[in-house]
Amino acid sequence: MEAPPPAATETLDPAGDVAIDVSHLTVVRGHRLVLPDLSVRIPRGLVTGLLGPSGGGKSTLIRAIVGVQIVESGTISVLGEPAGSPQLRRRVGYVTQAPSVYDDLSIRENINYFARLVGASADDVDWAIDQVGLADHAGQRVANLSGGQLSRTSLACALVGRPEALVLDEPTVGLDPVLRRSLWTLFHQLADSGTTLLVSSHVMDEASRCDRLLLLREGRILADGSFDELLRRTNTHDAEDAFLALIDAEDAAQHRGVAS
């Protein structure tokens, strides 16, 4: 099999279509090089899936994009501003991997707090609760919620400010298929209204739900393009096989590199 062709986003126009521009990003955690010189562009107004195995650097890349990760070198621009700059704090919504909400508050109290931090209105709070399908439980204490309700509460806390870019770290983990489908529908509705979404997942099946895919393994981008492109290029029929084909191709290329 041939080595993967160059990244597809190079055709994007940085001024107009690019929401997040990561350039030569290097991140070291402890003594481990998690992201070695990673460059990638994430288009505006689409749902981009960040897929790959756990430990491949997905959360680190996401944390770097929202500006909470200490980076070794490289630049990241988000919506035209450097990542983590104060101007972005109202424009970018971030959902951490573990649901980061307050146990001892109700769903509504949690969302209300994050709403007031970003200057959102009471209507926005109702809208966010509605979007994640928790209207019937809004008064319930978060400590008594199921895992899925918890992660949806966490998501609503980011939605409520109606940010221009939403960065979601594994938002669909542990959800049943029906809920997962409804969240992906929501993501596409948001994208249709102009929001840029970056959604990470280690579940390969979710690849087919994304407008664009980034496959990340051991800190490097294995593929960048649409799902169909990926299948065509690897001559496979599902995301899992495509991913494996890419890994095999890369490993083979590396062996050749060592041999020569």
Partner 1 sequence: MRLAFVSAGRILRQLRNDPRTIGLMLVVPLVLIGLMAWIYHGQPLIFDHVGPALLGVFPLTVMFIVTSITTLRERQSGTLERLLTTPLSKGAFMSGYALAFGVVALVQALLASAWSVWVCGMSIHGAWWQLVIVAVIDAVLGSSLGLLASGFARSEFQAVQFMPAFILPQFLLCGLFVSRDSLPTGLKQLSDVLPLSYAVDAMNTLATRIDGGSDVAKDVGILIGFSILALVGGALTLRRRTV
Instruction: Give the ranges where 90-238 is alpha helix by DSSP (H).
Output: 107-118, 122-131, 147-159, 177-192, 227-234
* Contact call for residue 116 and partner 1 (CB under 8 A): yes
Does 118 sit near partner 1 (CB under 8 A)? yes
Per CB under 8 A, which region of 5-13, 62-70, 124-132, 218-226 contacts partner 1?
62-70
Do the beta carbons of residue 171 and residue 9 sit within 8 Å?
no
Distance CA 231, CA 237 (A): 6
Minimum gap (Å) between residue 87 Cβ and partner 1: 10
- Least Cβ distance, residue 119 to partner 1 (angstroms): 8
Return the half-sphere exposure (C-beta side, CA atoms, 13 A cut-off) of residue 217: 14
219 makes contact with partner 1 (CB under 8 A): no
Which residue, 9 or 110, is less far from partner 1 as judged by CB?
A: 110
Tell me the two tokens of residue 227.
């799902």
Interatomic CA distance for residues 247 and 11, integer angstroms: 24
The answer for residues whose C-beta is within 8 angstroms of residue 238's C-beta and 6 or more apart is 204, 205, 231
By the rule CB under 8 A, 96 interacts with partner 1: yes
160 contributes a contact to partner 1 by CB under 8 A: no
Strand partners, 163: none
The number of residues that bind partner 1 (CB under 8 A) is 36
25 binds partner 1 (CB under 8 A): no
Give the shortest CB-8-to-partner 1 separation in angstroms: 29
Answer yes or no whether residue 84 interacts with partner 1 by CB under 8 A.
yes
- Does 147 bind partner 1 (CB under 8 A)? Our answer is no
Give the C-alpha separation, 119 to 254, whole Å.
51
Sites of contact with partner 1 (CB under 8 A): 29-30, 63, 66-71, 84, 86, 89-90, 92, 94-106, 109, 113-114, 116-119, 141, 157
